[in-house]
Copies of this chain bind each other. A is one copy, B any other.
Amino acid sequence: MSLKPKLSYFNYRGSAEPIRYLLAYGNIEYEDCRFADEEFPKLKPTFPYGQVPVLEIKGKMIPQTLAICRYLAKQSGLYGKDDFEAMQIDAVADAIIDLRNAVWLAYWITPEDERAPLVEKLTKETLPFYLSRFEKAIRENNGYFVNGNISYADIVLAGQLESLSDSTKYDITDGYPLIKALVKKVENLPRIKAWIEKRPKTDG
């Protein structure tokens, strides 16, 4: 059993980048294991629920982006000052993942010839719905999602939105200055900034 955690994902930022941001933030050494798209069918049965990202740590394969992010958040003091704040942070993180899932469904999971109505609904309804609520939450909480302090929800936002914009082919944060500012703040955290500079360049 390796003591260094191993993160398995496609060679994209995608759903894994929030985890990579949190690993960078926590200064945790890990193996950033990336496989080619065409290898996934072969690897799929080796993952607990056939999904990635998976973090292999202390001899266990752990699936689910947010379960992993929350664990890393706890190691780095990014999970609020008490259980009540933690619940609010968790609720935002879940909403970000709901939005991500809607983008993945419209742009990737649905067969190509059936995507158009989903993309239209996403662009006209789902994205503005979530993003305007994120913007409002950040306005009401002094530049972060919850109670004016950085939490893992802020890191998940920054780590996730860029790859959603790669899918839509336009910057989904245009028109949401407070979201943009929060993302920028996270990207400028020294260890995350260093990660962004050295990470593999990928198109999603």
Contact = CB atoms under 8 A, between A and B. Distances in A.
Interface string A58-87: 101011101110110011000000011011
Question: Chain A: interface secondary structure?
Answer: helix
Given A71-B84, A84-B71, A86-B71, A64 B94 contact: yes
A106 to B, nearest CB: 13
Interface in A133-189: 133
A129 interface: yes
A64 B96 CA distance: 11
Q: How many copies are assembled?
A: 2
Contact of A94 (B60, B67, B87, B88): B67
A91 B67 contact: yes
Nearest to A48: B133
Contacts of A204: none
Contacts of A93: 67
A190 interface: no
B70 A90 contact: yes
Contact of A133 (B49, B71, B75, B95): B49
A130 interface: yes
Contact of A87 (B49, B67, B90, B129): B67
Contact of A64 (B84, B95, B130): B95
Contacts of A90: 64, 66-67, 70-71
Given A84-B71, A87-B70, A63 B129 contact: no
Given A64-B90, A64-B94, 20 more contacts: A49-B95, A49-B130, A49-B133, A50-B129, A58-B84, A62-B87, A63-B91, A63-B95, A66-B90, A66-B94, A67-B90, A67-B93, A68-B91, A70-B86, A70-B87, A70-B90, A71-B84, A71-B87, A74-B86, A75-B83
